[in-house]
Structure 1
Amino acid sequence: MLFFEPVRDRRQGPSLVDQAVDAIEQAILQGVLRPGMALPSVRQFARLHGLSTFTVSAAYSRLVAQNQLTSRPGSGYRVALTAAPGRQPRAPVDWLPPRMGAAWLLADVFADHSIPIKSGCGWLPSDWLNEAGLQQSLRQVARTPVNQIAGYGHPYGYHPLREHIQQSLRQHGLILETDQILLTQGATQALDIVLRTLLRAGDAIAVELPCYANFLQSLRLAGLRPVGVPRKADGLCMQSLEEAARDHGVKALFVNTVLHNPTGTSLTMGEAFRVLQLAEQYNFRVIEDDVSRDLLPGLGPMLAAMGGTDRVIYVSGFSKSIMPSMRVGYVVANAAMLKDMAQTKMTLGLTTPELMERTVYQVLRQGRHQAHLLRLQDRLRQAHDELGHLMDQHGFETYARPQAGLFLWARPGQAWQGRGASALAELALPHGIWLAPGLYFDPDQTDTAWMRFNVAYSTHPRLWEFMREVGAAGPV
């Protein structure tokens, strides 16, 4: 189907993107395109109208942002069910890509549905989740008598869930009492509580380089001084960590033991022991962020189990394995320290939502959750294989090949040498592609060519077509 005849002289009419958007809107208004109908693929539409795929991608992305079209990876574009024909035309609205930066990454990106290819995001696609298990758990919680959930709940959180966490961590060698487990609104709040309880403005804290981006924002908000310690393929640079402890007097180290965000790497057992030795020698605490352990096939070192809860504060949650919007996390420490953290939690926002904690508990106690994790691990491994092949094919350099978890850390080859990834990310946004450049993950916001790729979102053909078009992939 030919939707319009493009006017290529910009002096005679609107841009090609505007023309494509207007033509599709008219087709919807006239009932030629009805709710739920599939549109031609980006390539087909471009070929039919003699346009570049960039132009068509931008037009489709704008229509998604305007709720005229819907898009799901692998399923193409369809007319939105709410885009009923016969309504009055509205004045055209120019879709503008969001402005990149720390504020967008930290907040707006979670509400921004205008980007169909979220290669830089930090969560699983919705169709990878255990939908049946979640629905069953929600039905179970809905049958709870109101008088059991009408109050604020316990400051430490829902006790059966804390008991389940206690037994789960015991399998990793971490022996706890339930009064050493504090439930929080996700791991992000857990980290905030730890920082507010243990550290004061001006204190130095050692962080991995690159480091989990949102944690860096928390440090800035708390007035703490991050000291970067390079992350290697098998762990941390121990010489840099010792120098940070000796020369900067760091009070704590923040570390992802397994499936590091953003490189995807894990510490070896030897590296984990060395971290704990330096922590004892220089008397700093270790904040272990372990939110991705459920995505790791097999075993990996757990610093809290190896070093004990006097030295290591352990943080985890369920957003990676259950659902991002299920904001339930937890922090583990010795009983005295956790009592102080509970007071910080209550000061900041009182108790945490027991309805969500009960839902998570119901999901975890089902026998099907472990089967879901095994399927998820296998699916992620396959995505790593496919993305690694695409990286090789397009001349990208990968930092490591973890073959597990969500992330791969990579940079373009010679074609993009000497340029930062932020410029590439800016070019990608108008075409409906979100990339996560390395400056997000750097305490000094240094603009390198490295980027974080979410393997579950990064095999989309349009992403690699874009890389070829802008020259980031070089000749292929």
Structure 2
Amino acid sequence: MIELKLERGSRHAPTLVEQLVRAFASAIEAQTLRAGTLLPSVRRLADEQRLSTFTVTEAYGRLVSMGLVAARRGSGYRVAVRGHRDEVRALEWQPPSLTATWLLSDVFADHSVPIKAGCGWLPNEWINESGLQHALRALSRVPAARIADYGHPYGFAPLRERIAEQLDRYGLPVDAASNVLMTAGATQALDLIVRTLLRPGDAVVVEDPGYCNLLQILRLAGLDVHGVPRTVAGIDTEAFEQVVIAHRPKAVFLNTTLQNPTGATFNMACAFRLLQIAQRHGLWIIEDDVNRELAPPGAPLLAAMEGLNRVLYVGGFAKTITPSLRSGYVVAERAVLRELARTKMAVGLTSSEATERIVDKVLTEGRYARHVEFVVEKLRHAHALVEERMDALGASVFRRPRAGLFVWASLPVDPCAAADVATRALEHGIWLAPGSYFRPGDAPSACFRFNVPHSVDDALWTFLETLP
């Protein structure tokens, strides 16, 4: 067995999990630990190194996800048997070309980039594996005849009931039968709203910066897109009203809680002012709120404040369960929801009942609340680490939420050179998300969106320290 020398107490030392992963990975690559070798049990290693079992379990989980270690129930963790090592070494990694196509589509299928500081999802090892496994086993016991047809156009009824119960706790009482529509992820919900309520040439307002995939949806729909600055308190309401008066938009799209990409959350005063302006000018408000469960309590919820008269509320489970299930929903007034359901059926038929059954089981029997608490605490710790590295780098951090996935920071680079920085980063196996991809019109920006749990690797900061 290898000798472990763990560094403790240093503010700049890698986490104990990272140190364990690196030590075992190096020993496996050097064949000090050969294929098939049984690793110490979690409890034994924890006792020997004076670690928590949680730390060892997370480190072993990362090694499994890297393909270096195999886990078998009842037989512990063993060094994985891999293919011909010489052939693997010969296939040297080639960085992909940084284009809009790669960032918006191919990136989701590209697993070659080791450090995904620009991605939009949680690390695989943070997934609620036990809850998902339980849900999958439960689905396997459902008679095939019960899930053989297309399912209900509005989605799996028990899951809609679960969503209604959750929204009621947030102060938004809804009827699960007539106000909740399941979709294939929150992004599809946004697309259905655009297709149903808007027509080519209509003016709309978005946050600047804002959700990059939404910008693409709006462009594909031929809409006239106007950006309004996002502040730490919410949208700039003075600039918003000026845009509304000048361009008479039909809708405004917002992230109220832990906004993507800035991590900022609306305060109550800004929320009230926004609703007043929208009501006075007859705008639809599309509230994309997929991050609410990761936020501290008390953030304003526009749909609850306004009552679904002009607000459509979008949610999903990609940030708390897993993005691969592609399960989201939209909440709206009864007549609007009926039109959204017709659009859903026209462009893609029903959403997957099998997927929705899995999500429902995770919510009800997968210790979901406990898992969310775990993720929130992990994110809080990761934010502290990343913010410390940002300060040491001299970066300007837009907001320090200590919650959610994202930090939006301006690096000491020329805004026009940000895309070049992202291209150079890929050559080092680092995916960065330059600010221009989150702005209407791709305006230059020295800002980057950092996914906090994917931004703790020392190699990222070593690269950033080389920037002029």
Q: The TM-score by the shorter chain falls in which range? A: 0.7 to 0.9
In structure 2, what residue type is equivalent to 1:155? P
Match among 431, 434, 457 for residue 431 of structure 2: 434
Per the normalisation by structure 2, the TM-score is 0.82
Match among 143, 148, 151 for residue 150 of structure 1: 148
Match among 449, 454, 465 for residue 452 of structure 1: 449
- Which residue pairs with 1:376 in the alignment? 375
Structure 1, unaligned runs of 5 or more: 1-26, 38-68, 73-77, 472-476
- The 1:427–1:176 alpha-carbon spacing in structure 2 relative to 1, beyond 3 Å, is same
Aligned-residue Cα RMSD (Å) equals 2.3
- Which residue pairs with 2:293 in the alignment? 294
Shift of 1:90: 9.5
Shift of 1:83: 2.3
- The 1:81–1:203 alpha-carbon spacing in structure 2 relative to 1, beyond 3 Å, is farther
1:9-32 CA deviation, whole Å, 9 max, x = no partner? xxxxxxxxxxxxxxxxxx99x989
- Which residue pairs with 1:109 in the alignment? 107
Structure 2, unaligned runs of 5 or more: 1-27, 38-65, 70-77
Distance in 2 (alpha carbons) for counterparts of 1:441 and 1:403: 21
- Which residue pairs with 1:303 in the alignment? 302
User: Which secondary structure state, in structure 2, belongs to the residue aligned with residue 279 of structure 1?
Assistant: helix
Distance in 2 (alpha carbons) for counterparts of 1:240 and 1:189: 29
Distance in 1 (alpha carbons) for counterparts of 2:179 and 2:289: 16
In structure 1, what residue type is equivalent to 2:466? E
In structure 2, what residue type is equivalent to 1:122? G
**Once the two structures are aligned, what percentage of the paired residues are identical?**
49
- The 1:310–1:71 alpha-carbon spacing in structure 2 relative to 1, beyond 3 Å, is farther
- Which residue pairs with 2:82 in the alignment? 82
In structure 2, what residue type is equivalent to 1:458? S
Shift of 1:175: 1.3
1:211-258 CA deviation, whole Å, 9 max, x = no partner? 100111111111111100000011111111101111011100000010
Shift of 1:80: 7.3
1:332-379 CA deviation, whole Å, 9 max, x = no partner? 111001000000000011111101000000011126111111111111
- The 1:36–1:103 alpha-carbon spacing in structure 2 relative to 1, beyond 3 Å, is farther
In structure 2, what residue type is equivalent to 1:465? T
The number of residues matched between the two structures is 404
- Whether contact under 8 Å (2:311, 2:332) holds in the other structure is yes
- Which residue pairs with 1:275 in the alignment? 274
- Whether contact under 8 Å (2:132, 2:366) holds in the other structure is no
- The 1:444–1:143 alpha-carbon spacing in structure 2 relative to 1, beyond 3 Å, is same
In structure 2, what residue type is equivalent to 1:435? L
- Which residue pairs with 2:337 in the alignment? 338
Distance in 2 (alpha carbons) for counterparts of 1:71 and 1:279: 54
- The 1:31–1:366 alpha-carbon spacing in structure 2 relative to 1, beyond 3 Å, is closer
- Whether contact under 8 Å (1:297, 1:377) holds in the other structure is no
- Which residue pairs with 1:404 in the alignment? 403
In structure 1, what residue type is equivalent to 2:454? Y
- The 1:231–1:91 alpha-carbon spacing in structure 2 relative to 1, beyond 3 Å, is closer
1:236-290 CA deviation, whole Å, 9 max, x = no partner? 1111110111101110000001000000000001111111100011111100000
Q: Show the 5 A alignment for 1:10-21.
A: none
Structure 1 segments of 4+ aligned residues over 6 angstroms from their partners: 30-33
Distance in 2 (alpha carbons) for counterparts of 1:214 and 1:447: 18
User: Which secondary structure state, in structure 1, belongs to the residue aligned with residue 441 of structure 2?
Assistant: coil
Shift of 1:158: 0.2
Shift of 1:104: 1.1
- Whether contact under 8 Å (1:286, 1:313) holds in the other structure is yes
Distance in 1 (alpha carbons) for counterparts of 2:89 and 2:126: 38
Distance in 2 (alpha carbons) for counterparts of 1:90 and 1:366: 41
Match among 129, 132, 135 for residue 130 of structure 2: 132
- Whether contact under 8 Å (2:415, 2:444) holds in the other structure is no
- Which residue pairs with 2:207 in the alignment? 208
